[in-house]
Amino acid sequence: MKTKQEQNRVVIFDTTLRDGEQCPGASMGLSEKLEVARQLERLNVDIIEAGFPIASPGDFEAVRAIATQIKKPRICGLARCLAPDIERCAEAVAPAGKRGRIHVFLATSAIHRQFKLKKAKSEIIKLAVAGVKHAKKFVDDVQFSPEDASRTEPDFLAEVVTAVIEAGATTVNIPDTVGYAVPNEFGHLIAELFERVPALSKGVTIHVHCHNDLGLAVANSLTAVQNGARGIECTINGLGERAGNCSLEEVVMAMRTRADAFGITTGINTREIVRASRMVSKLTGMVVQRNKAIVGANAFAHESGIHQHGMLSHRSTYEIMQPEDIGLTGSELVLGKHSGRHGLAARLKQLGYTVKPAELEKIYARFIELADKKKNVYDDDIIALMHAEDLAGPQAFTLDYLHVSTGTVLPTATVRLKKGGEIFGPASACGDGPVDAMFKAIDLITKVSGKLLDYSLQAVTKGEDAIGEVSVSVRFGESLVVAKGASTDIVEASAKAYLNSLNRYLFEKGQKKIKAQPRGDQP
Ligand code: KIV
Ligand code: ZN
């Protein structure tokens, strides 16, 4: 029998690498996924959903590598209720041994049954049971999700849940797939399930998986917990399909800060939250809005005189959480141009990066280049340096030369690129402004034309010599790619961001050529 403490412990199931990565433009490569998985381990999440192995060879490799290298959390892979999906998933999570989980899902709502699956209720139950039983042949730990559960008839949902538990599911996840639920209704659905499915009180865990289409994902997850759910599926920065998933940092800090209201604990090491948030933002190119709860740049900034006066009198006047609780240390100055490789390596380690010796050389060269331009190099500069360029690829285009003329003349840019030791260009082009001219010159060299959909510039650190970080959203044919570039010069930062988006597009195009299965019926 579980102690009261165990009963009040909520499992944190992180799906940044699966549902989060499904967010348009947020895809990550293998080394980036591993970097995030290591940070999730430091954050002490209970379960990492590492991907959808049947979706592509890249997804499979990522889940397998994470299952091999990550030693503490459970490693989960997603599968439809189809034998090939389940077998591929089993193969991918196998290196995690007893910590491996297979997550099978099937839609249950009338809308999905009629329009997507074209199946009767009885067929849905049959397929769900067969899926769970098949997964059970490979692992003990099987999770089932009735997709679109919140729009499923409650009596049918209870029937499905009863059947999958009898078939061997050890966790049942209740998704609010389209973010349609509202808190009291969703809480009631969970309470009702406990009443209708007695087996739920006997060792089966109920998770919830809420999407944020109405901005209610965190509220719905918390209400579900108050009604008996003991697992929350969430993502760093709330990344995910459409408006995203329940945000890990918000839901965890709500339960921690209002322990009096919830009486619930998690195993999360909250001091790793900021690092996780920044890492995911940099790696995916998805900017965190300044006023986002917990991790936004303004979350702990007190601008108005009244607030500042209150804060100086006593922090608790306007601060309900301590910045240190989420890992905001306020430690600013880190390195300068006289810092050696060891100093940089040590700081990178403290910031949570695992860097191979060959990579360190490249990063160090960039660090010195930056420290020559900038007196003080801050943590955020180093993080920007780490993610602003593709460190991995010899097949990536990099900037070799850039010259822009602007002012009263027609803006013109001349660019030369480098790839695998070979020089491409130079090419010159005119444009509406220096950045536009430079993008056009790059297109002339690469013969790939991107359509810029979104462009934003942000100063990473304070001061006149701050690094400027440019985020671009570029459409190449059918693909939308989000990428960043950083430099103390904004035209150069723009060139780097555009080249990063192009490199990512070319890399993904290369991967698609070897895709075994279409992503098809993705959740
Ligand atoms: O949103 C959803 O329904 C999902 C399931 C696969 C859990 O992501
Ligand atoms: Zn989802």
| pLDDT tens column, 199-212 | 998 889 999 999 99
pLDDT of residue 270: 97
Which region among 27-41, 88-102, 460-474 has the lowest average model confidence (pLDDT)? Answer: 460-474
Q: Looking at the predicted structure, is the pLDDT value of residue 457 above 90?
A: no
pLDDT at 520: 42
Nearest CA to ligand 1 atom 4: 523
DSSP reduced 3-state for 496: helix
Q: How confident is the model at residue 145 (pLDDT cuts 50, 70, 90)?
A: very high
Distance between CA 154 and CA 281 in Å, rounded?
A: 38
Question: What is the model's pLDDT at position 518?
Answer: 37
pLDDT at site 511: 52
CA gap 113, 160 in Å, rounded:
13
The whole-number pLDDT of residue 93 equals: 98
Percent of the chain past pLDDT 90, that is, above it, reads 56
Highest mean pLDDT among 136-140, 195-199, 288-292 belongs to: 136-140
Reported as a pLDDT band with limits 50, 70 and 90, residue 473 is confident
Amino acid letter for position 99: R
Q: Can you tell me which atom of ligand 1 is nearest the CA of 18?
A: 8
Counting ligands in written order, the one closest to the CA of 23 is 2
Distance of alpha carbon 122 from alpha carbon 136, whole angstroms: 21
What is the arithmetic mean of pLDDT over 378-388? 73
- Cα(209) to ligand 2 centroid in Å equals 6
- The H or E element that residue 173 is part of is strand 171-176
* Dihedral (CA of 256, 219, 143, 35) sign: negative
In this prediction, residue 225 carries a pLDDT of 98
Q: Which of 17-31, 71-85, 390-404, 443-457 has the lowest mean pLDDT?
A: 390-404
What gap in Å lies between CA 275 and CA 41, rounded to an integer? 12
The CB of 29 under 6 Å from ligand 1? The reply is no
pLDDT at residue 513, rounded to an integer: 44
Q: Is the alpha carbon torsion for 260, 263, 268, 273 positive or negative?
A: negative
Q: Detail the DSSP E strand segments found in 31-114.
A: 47-51, 74-80, 100-107
Which parts of 227-317 fold into alpha helices (H)?
Answer: 248-257, 259-262, 273-284, 305-313
- Chain mean pLDDT for the chain: 88
Q: Tokens representing 367? A: 């660090």
Instruction: Indicate whether 516 pLDDT > 80.
Output: no
Centroid of ligand 2 to alpha carbon of 358 (angstroms): 38
Q: Is 209 in the pocket of ligand 1 (CB under 6 A)?
A: yes
Residue with tokens 């099987």: 142
Among residues 289, 274, 286, the alpha carbon closest in space to that of 481 is found at 286
CA of 499 to the centre of ligand 1 (A): 33
With bands split at pLDDT 50, 70 and 90, how would you rate the model's confidence at 519?
A: very low
Q: Which residues pair with 469 in a beta bridge?
A: 458, 486
> Which residue has the CA at smallest separation from atom 8 of ligand 1?
523
Cα dihedral 78, 83, 87, 88 sign? negative
Mean pLDDT of 226-243: 95
Report how far residue 133's alpha carbon sits from residue 167's, in angstroms, rounded to the nearest whole number.
6
**Does residue 105 line the site of ligand 1, with CB under 6 A?**
yes
The residue among 470 and 180 whose pLDDT is bigger is 180
Residue 92 has pLDDT above 60, yes or no: yes
What gap in Å lies between CA 187 and CA 227, rounded to an integer? 6
Higher-pLDDT residue of 25 and 224 is 224
Q: What is the pLDDT of residues 323-368, one digit of tens each?
A: 899 998 754 446 777 777 888 888 888 777 778 888 888 888 888 8
Q: Ligand 2 (ion): which residues have CB within 5 A?
A: 19
Kindly state if the Cβ of 147 falls inside 6 Å of ligand 1: yes
Q: Residue 176: is its pLDDT beyond 90?
A: yes
Contact 308, 302 (CB under 8 A): yes
Is the distance from the beta carbon of residue 145 to the nearest atom of ligand 1 less than 6 Å?
yes
Distance CA 521, CA 55 (A): 9
Residue 394, pLDDT score: 53
- With bands split at pLDDT 50, 70 and 90, how would you rate the model's confidence at 287? confident
Using most ligand atoms within 8 A of CB, pick from 47, 145, 207, 233 the residue to mutate for ligand 1.
Answer: 145
CA-based nearest residue to 145, from 6, 135, 202, 92: 135
Ligand 1: distance of its center to the CA of 147 in Å?
A: 6
Mean pLDDT of the region 450-457: 87
Whole-angstrom Cα distance, residue 221 to residue 187? 8
Which ligand is nearest to the Cα of residue 174, counting in written order?
1
Is residue 234 a contact partner of residue 211, using CB atoms and an 8 Å limit?
A: no
Contact 459, 470 (CB under 8 A): no
SS3 state at 171:
strand
Q: How far apart are CA 265 and CA 262, in angstroms?
A: 9
Q: Which residues pair with 404 in a beta bridge?
A: 413
Does the pLDDT at position 272 exceed 90?
yes
- Residue 519 C-alpha to ligand 2 middle, in angstroms? 15
Q: Which of 253-267, 393-407, 450-464 holds the top average pLDDT? A: 253-267
